């Protein structure tokens, strides 16, 4: 820092005139700290109430301490609860899934009347255990006028019912096209 800059810096910190700042700095070999002390001794600047001077280090140390505490807490959380917490969350998810699969009903309808209703859990078990029998029967049922829907209080039910309605409509369209071609041939 040049001498002129030091004079300006001392003026900013102390509020003394340019001449006073320059004179004191010259007397102290342009050492700003010594110049401030000399100005305080001369009574041109009031001494601070506290007995310490800091250059922002205390703020940095506070941040370092906060960071160390946060890092220790993070490591503690990762090491102690990671696996247990994951198992607990998985268990809760399976529990909710099981409850929903019992609450929601899969219904088989014919001519607007409900023929059967089973929990979705039963449908899933049938599809997993007897896929090659259950799925073809469901598809064949569409061509014989059976319709399917889900009953329950869930957004998934509404979306699934849209899919079921589209499947029924598609089966009906295929059946009508097949009958139309059959009528044209005769």
pLDDT tens digits for range 100-158: 888 889 999 998 899 999 999 999 999 999 999 999 999 999 989 899 998 887 766 77
Does residue 72 register a pLDDT over 60?
yes
Is 72 or 41 the better-scoring residue by pLDDT?
41
Tokens of 175: 């059946």
Q: How far apart are CA 99 and CA 160, in angstroms?
A: 18
Q: How far apart are CA 141 and CA 147, in angstroms?
A: 8
What's the CA angle centered on 41, arms 38 and 44, to 5 degrees? 85
Tokens of 47: 């001494």
Q: Sign of the CA dihedral 84, 88, 93, 99? A: positive
Could you read off the pLDDT of 10-60 as tens digits, one per residue?
888 888 888 888 898 898 888 888 888 888 888 887 766 655 555 545 556
Q: Given phi > 0 = left and psi -120 to 50 = alpha, else beta, which region is 148?
A: beta
Tokens of 142: 């569409």
Residue 106 has a pLDDT of 92
Q: Sign of the CA dihedral 132, 133, 139, 140? A: positive
Residue 134 has a pLDDT of 92
Residue 82 has a pLDDT of 66
Long-range contacts, stretch 50-58, CB < 8 angstroms, 24+ apart = none
Residue 60 has a pLDDT of 62
Q: Which distant-in-sequence residues (6+ apart) come within 8 Å of 167 by Cβ?
A: 142, 148
Residue 4 has a pLDDT of 80
State the pLDDT confidence band at 162, using cuts at 50, 70 and 90: confident
Residue 51 has a pLDDT of 55
What's the CA angle centered on 7, arms 5 and 12, to 5 degrees? 95
pTM: 0.49
- Residue spans of alpha helices (H) in the chain: 3-14, 18-27, 32-42, 57-103, 120-129, 131-143, 155-185
Q: How far apart are CA 94 and CA 100, in angstroms?
A: 10
Domain spans of the chain, in order of start: 3-42, 54-102, 104-185
């Amino acid at each position: 820092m040049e001498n002129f800059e030091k004079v300006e810096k001392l003026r900013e910190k102390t509020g003394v005139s340019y001449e006073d700042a320059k004179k004191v700095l010259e007397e102290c070999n342009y050492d700003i700290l010594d110049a401030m002390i000399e100005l305080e001794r001369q009574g041109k600047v009031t001494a601070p109430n506290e007995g310490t001077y800091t250059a922002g280090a205390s703020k940095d140390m506070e941040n370092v301490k906060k960071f160390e505490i946060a890092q220790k807490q993070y490591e503690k959380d990762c090491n102690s609860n990671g696996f247990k917490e994951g198992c607990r969350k998985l268990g809760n998810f399976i529990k909710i899934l099981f409850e929903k699969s019992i609450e929601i009903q899969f219904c088989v309808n014919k001519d607007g009347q409900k023929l059967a209703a089973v929990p979705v859990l039963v449908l899933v078990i049938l599809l997993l255990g007897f896929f090659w029998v259950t799925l073809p029967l469901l598809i064949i049922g569409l061509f014989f006028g059976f319709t399917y829907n889900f009953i329950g209080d869930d957004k998934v039910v509404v979306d699934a019912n849209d899919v079921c309605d589209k499947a029924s409509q598609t089966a009906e369209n295929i059946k009508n096209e097949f009958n139309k071609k059959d009528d044209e041939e005769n």
